[in-house]
Chain A
């Protein structure tokens, strides 16, 4: 039985990682430091639907793999940390017991944490390891816009997927 559960966890994380990679690579808007994309939609969807650990692994691994594939290998470790933590924190905030609904206050807090984690995380790690404070600071508005749009779309998509495919609720880890 434990083996069955483990197989399901591995299958779930693998497919969700692939989803994050595809969402990161499908829509790309080039910027000074890299590109803006839809990865936050996938990450917030996973955080709302699948729980903290799935969100942490799929978000971190998915964005890191997307960076590796796209030729932005130097950002892979930064993306792993920033987006992994983003997924984990958002999922922990919106985590609910049973069929209880998530309050608006918690959703707003999750949105704030999501935006702060992405923008400040990229700013700090990028300024520290890759570029400089001024170059990293120039990307903050873009990251804020990307994560805010990603959070809103993730929320909407999560509700739509739960309606369209109810068995998804049993896949929480």
Chain B
């Protein structure tokens, strides 16, 4: 199981301060909901994808769009039929199948959806996970919460690996072909696998608690940290840019 979303690279997005990047991501998500024309929305989405792909590569951009393609297909198939009013584009006799407004709304939703998905993915593709955690702590996420997330990421591969091994060993004991079973039987057969995997996971809780205590968790002294966001320079400039970029897009959409 892959839990790392970071893609190594050298683009300007990698040098952008993660704190400002998070703010930029949130502001861009808000921007996609502003009342701008479809052309402006599509242009900004295209620009975001272009800039992002320049940093993380076209493969990542394609993979992101591909992962949401079923939803996009659903939108383009059904949205135009739901909006009945407006200029008819396709009609069968007196029945209007697709209107200009319906098609426009479908395209607007698709653009907005691609935009939001891509900016969210871009943040995690260009920022390593411990910097995301430091960023959230900078925004006053409590220490315990960030510790829980970090520990969860540490345990995900262990539990996933245990689950796969248990699942394989249960499958080897079964004579019947998995494909030939009915859904109900397959779900019933899943119970021993899930139970075993859960017991393995739960057994690690006391050990983890003990190791946390041994490492001084819960003591009053401030804990030392090896990681920091000091390597990022021009923090103020980055924050300013994070505010200016969405504002510039909005002003451009108003003027042109």
Binding site for B on A (CB under 8 A): 2-4, 6-8, 10-15, 17-19, 21-23, 25-26, 30-34, 38, 41, 45, 57, 61-62, 65, 68-74, 76, 130-132, 134-135, 138, 149, 153, 156-157, 160-161, 164-165, 168, 171
Of B82, B123, B160, the contact of A132 (CB 8 Å cutoff): B82
Binding site for A on B (CB under 8 A): 1-3, 5, 63-64, 67-68, 70-71, 73-75, 78-79, 82, 109, 113, 116-117, 120-121, 123-124, 144, 147-149, 151-156, 158-160, 163, 187, 190-192, 194-199, 201-206, 208-210, 212-213, 217-219
A26-B160, A132-B109, A168-B202 known; A14+B148 contact, CB < 8 A: yes
User: Contact at A10–B212, with CB atoms within 8 Å?
Assistant: yes
A168 proximity list for chain B (CB < 8 A): 202
User: Contact at B151–A164, with CB atoms within 8 Å?
Assistant: no
How many residue pairs at the A-B interface have CB separations less than 8 Å? Answer: 172
Residue of chain A at shortest CB distance from B219? A3
A13 CA to B150 CA in the complex, in Å?
12
B123 proximity list for chain A (CB < 8 A): 73
Closest 3 CB pairs of A and B: A3-B218, A73-B120, A14-B151
- Could you tell me the distance in whole angstroms from the C-beta of A32 to the nearest C-beta in chain B? 4
User: Contact at B190–A153, with CB atoms within 8 Å?
Assistant: yes
A57 CA to B124 CA in the complex, in Å?
22
Taking A12-B205, A74-B113, A134-B82 as given, write out 15 further A-B residue pairs in contact, using a Cβ cutoff of 8 Å, ordered by the A residue number.
A3-B217, A13-B148, A15-B155, A15-B205, A17-B149, A18-B159, A19-B201, A25-B1, A32-B70, A33-B71, A61-B149, A72-B117, A74-B120, A132-B79, A156-B191
B5 proximity list for chain A (CB < 8 A): 68-69, 71
User: Contact at B152–A14, with CB atoms within 8 Å?
Assistant: yes
A160 CA to B74 CA in the complex, in Å?
40
A62 CA to B153 CA in the complex, in Å?
10
User: Contact at A3–B152, with CB atoms within 8 Å?
Assistant: no
A156 proximity list for chain B (CB < 8 A): 191
A22 CA to B161 CA in the complex, in Å?
10
A156 CA to B193 CA in the complex, in Å?
12
What are 19 inter-chain pairs, A to B, with CB distance below 8 A?
Answer: A3-B218, A7-B210, A7-B212, A7-B213, A10-B147, A10-B148, A10-B209, A14-B148, A18-B151, A32-B73, A69-B5, A73-B124, A74-B116, A131-B71, A135-B71, A135-B79, A153-B187, A157-B191, A165-B202
